[in-house]
Amino acid sequence: MKFTWFNLMPWPYLPDDFRQQHRSVWVDIPNTLYDPRKGHHVYHTYLDQLEYAETLGFDGIGCNEHHQNGYGLMPSPNIIAASLARRTSRAAICVIGNSIAGYNPPIRVAEEFAMLDVISGGRLIAGFPVGTPMDTNFCYGQIPALTRDKYREAHDLIMRAWASDEPFAFDGKYNQLRWVNCWPKPIQQPHPPIYIPGGGSIETWDFCLDHDYNYSYLSFFGYLRGKSLLDGYWERVASRGKDESPYRAAFAQIICVADTDAEAERLYAEHCLYFFNRCLHVFPPFADPPGYRTMATIKYGALAQLTLARQKILENLTWKQLVDERFVIAGSPQTVRQQLEECIKGLRIGHLFCLFHNGDMPDWKTRHSSKLFAEQVMPHLRDLWPEWKHDERWWMHPMDDRLRPEERRPGAEKSGAEWAR
Amino acid sequence: MKARLVETKKGTRCRVLEAGSGAPLVFLHSAGGLLRDNPFLERLAQRYHVFAPEWPGYGESTGDELLEDMLDFALHGWDLVDALGLRGPHLLGHSMGGMIAAEMACLAPREVGKLVLAAPAGLWLDEHPIPDIFAMLPYQLAEALFADPAAGQQLLTGGADLSDLEALKEFYLVNQRRLTMAGKILFPIPNRRLSKRLYRLTAEVLVVWGSADRLIVPVYAAAWAAQLPAARVTTIEAAGHMLPYEQPDLFARVVGEFLG
């Protein structure tokens, strides 16, 4: 198993009556609720936590892209990843990822991801989400019906830019570039591992399988609800004749560890409820513009998750419900071990994106939970997939002789005044 | 009105309502599509040979994937005119249909009889931003579209009750498909730079607006008038954005008086 410590970076100062006063945490949330001076401390606290996660032995540290919202403060995940690349040297840097349909031209993503891979010594995991409709359509103005087409073209351009050793012309429908010539190119060849974060769209499964990319199911509604969806994915894997390596799939899970189950509630309940009640408070139409989901996906059953119904779920949540329905895996190390094992085996996943910081959780609690997990849970779950132990197809392949930039300080003596040849 | 399927050269298949006799008049519907009942078309069919095609993505019409941008839409309008075998028809476009009709007329000004634009989309005024129809809950649509939202809701859903979950799902699915198509020329801002081309119009133009239009407010009528100094501009009282449906008699009379 690979464990990635993920920080969504929510704004922790949403008012108590946020839900009553505002229709959405995304798109049209008043930006007067943001305070840049507090934001300075927030960013550094969150970045410190990601660096701390590496020292705890997590395999990866993760960030992602969202716009105009109080749910996640990373409009540019590459800026976050760049700072992590300079302050860490062991963990994979998982950027899950850049919403490539919104970049103009998307060659920018090929360049920046290559920069990150080079600076980090080959530690980049490259995610290519379509982006939430809030981000891609309402904030970045992409036409919903054409978003997936534009996404595919952006993907093709980026992959070709990484693969090609010579300049080429790209005559796309959305991007016409006479000279494509990616400088720099990534260390990892033929390319960094590609992760495709998806909700429930079946087209995404086929896209992942066509290219052997990792499929990352990112939901906050836990593994009990995620199971039917992942079952569908694995059926698709089987019917396509692909091997069943659990590393083909990743799942995100909110995790809270304390000494006892009761202590977990005392420490973390309010912060998880903050997350569900405020950070997920999205005006339903922003989450489902016409054309973002294909009719095939809507008919596949996603109507059952009509956003209105989902909003209802969020309105009256209690800690007991969060825990009983496994939206949150919380409790003593033993409880968390047992439930996570059920989650990992039930979903058949090789990668877990672990969410320890939730809502307005203070730094010390976040670290406490992460440390207990690293020491008392993670070691017991490492070898759940012994038959796939050596499957590294969906993990980083860094340089052996990479630098440790976090140990180099300005003014420190440099070894060798010449460029190595 | 009788209905038939028409296939265009491009390969779309469109259901076309047809009635009446006289000069040909092609009606292009709004982003909401034709409703179950379209009484203003029946009124107009007393004087004209009325054709009301349903756009791909609407009702039984197919070929959604063949149309992607404004030029595709406008040419598809002419493809339909060709497929129907019409010469120099009057064009009557409502809202999104008005935007398409105006584009058609800019592309081929001499192929149009007269042009009627009913609360057309296509222009944008920064000081009067048009509400985002792609970010509305089902029950909010009627409020934006009708002077009388309660009566409008009935028209919009064909009488179905949106508090019933099954009816809501049905409406949601159909509406998602329609607006998927409409979004290609209306999202995120319904302005595809038509104003750069309007100078080409040669046909006589009537711009007609509902005085209680809350979606594209009547100020836009003045913006069209400024773009088309020769156009006649008329306002219909007690009508919102869905003026052909809210005041069918008056609407048909105003259009008829203009077309002659």
* Residue pLDDT tens, chain B, 260 long: 999 999 999 999 999 999 999 999 999 999 999 999 999 999 999 999 999 999 999 999 999 999 999 999 999 999 999 999 999 999 999 999 999 999 999 999 999 999 999 999 999 999 999 999 999 988 899 999 999 999 999 998 887 877 777 787 888 888 899 999 999 999 999 999 999 999 999 999 999 999 999 999 999 999 999 999 999 999 999 999 999 999 999 999 999 999 99
Q: What is the pLDDT of residues A366-409, one digit of tens each?
A: 999 999 999 999 999 999 999 999 999 999 999 999 998 888 77
All domains of chain A, ordered by start, with CATH? 2-407 (3.20.20.30)
Q: Which helix (H) or strand (E) holds A401?
A: none
Helix pair angle (A333-347, A363-376), 10° resolution: 70
Using an 8 Å Cβ cutoff, are B49 and B81 in contact? no
Give how many domains chain B has, as a whole number: 1
Q: What is the pLDDT of residues A350-372, one digit of tens each?
A: 999 999 999 999 999 999 999 99
| Chain A residues close to B164, C-beta within 8 Å | none
**Other CB atoms within 10 A of residue A301 CB:** 13
Q: Around A18, how many Cα atoms within 13 Å sit in the side-chain half-sphere?
A: 30
Task: Please tell me the predicted confidence (pLDDT) of residue A415.
Answer: 62
B185: nearest CA partner in chain A = A143
Task: Please tell me the predicted confidence (pLDDT) of residue A300.
Answer: 62
Which one has a higher pLDDT value, A333 or A220? A333
Q: Do A138 and B135 touch (CB under 8 A)?
A: yes
A305, pLDDT greater than 60 = no
Q: Is B183 helix (H, G, I), strand (E, B) or coil?
A: helix
Instruction: Check which CATH number belongs to the domain holding B188 and give it.
Output: 3.40.50.1820
A138, pLDDT greater than 90 = yes
Q: How far apart are the first and last CA of chain B?
A: 22
A155, pLDDT greater than 90 = yes
**Å from B17 to nearest chain A CA?**
26
Which one has a higher pLDDT value, A204 or A65? A65
Q: Do A290 and B188 touch (CB under 8 A)?
A: no
A200, pLDDT greater than 80 = no
A297 touches chain B (CB under 8 A): no
Task: Choose the closest CB to B183 out of A286, A290, A293.
Answer: A290
Residue A4 has phi, psi (to 5 degrees) of -115, 130
Tell me the C-alpha to C-alpha distance, in Å, between residue A121 and each of A125, A397, B140: 12, 9, 53
A298 touches chain B (CB under 8 A): yes
**Å from B76 to nearest chain A CA?**
18
Confidence of residue A307 (pLDDT cuts 50, 70, 90): very low
Q: Do A285 and B135 touch (CB under 8 A)?
A: yes
| Chain B residues close to A145, C-beta within 8 Å | 68, 180-181, 183-184
ipTM comes to 0.94
| Chain B residues close to A291, C-beta within 8 Å | 176, 179-181, 183, 187
A289 touches chain B (CB under 8 A): yes
B137: nearest CA partner in chain A = A285
Tell me the C-alpha to C-alpha distance, in Å, between residue A189 and each of A126, A192, A208, B77: 13, 7, 18, 50
Nearest to B119 by CA among B207, B195, B193, B46: B207
Is the C-alpha dihedral spanning A218, A219, A222, A224 positive or negative? negative
How large is the average pLDDT for residues A11-36?
A: 97
| Chain A residues close to B134, C-beta within 8 Å | 137, 144, 285, 289-290
Q: Do B184 and A298 touch (CB under 8 A)?
A: no
Confidence of residue A309 (pLDDT cuts 50, 70, 90): low
Domain that holds residue B126: 2-259
| Chain B residues close to A283, C-beta within 8 Å | 135
Task: Please tell me the predicted confidence (pLDDT) of residue A406.
Answer: 82
How large is the average pLDDT for residues A79-105?
A: 97
A24, pLDDT greater than 80 = yes
Q: Ramachandran region of residue A168, left (φ > 0), alpha (ψ -120 to 50) or beta?
A: beta
Is the C-alpha dihedral spanning A33, A35, A38, A42 positive or negative? positive
The count of CB pairs under 8 A between chains A and B is: 65
**Å from A284 to nearest chain B CA?**
8
Nearest to A303 by CA among A314, A295, A315: A295
What is the distance between the alpha carbons of residues A397 and A192, in angstroms, rounded to a whole number?
8
**Å from B23 to nearest chain A CA?**
37
Task: Please tell me the predicted confidence (pLDDT) of residue A313.
Answer: 67
B134: nearest CA partner in chain A = A289
**Å from B231 to nearest chain A CA?**
32
The mean pLDDT of chain A is 93
Confidence of residue A312 (pLDDT cuts 50, 70, 90): low
pTM: 0.94
Q: Is A45 helix (H, G, I), strand (E, B) or coil?
A: helix
B178: nearest CA partner in chain A = A290
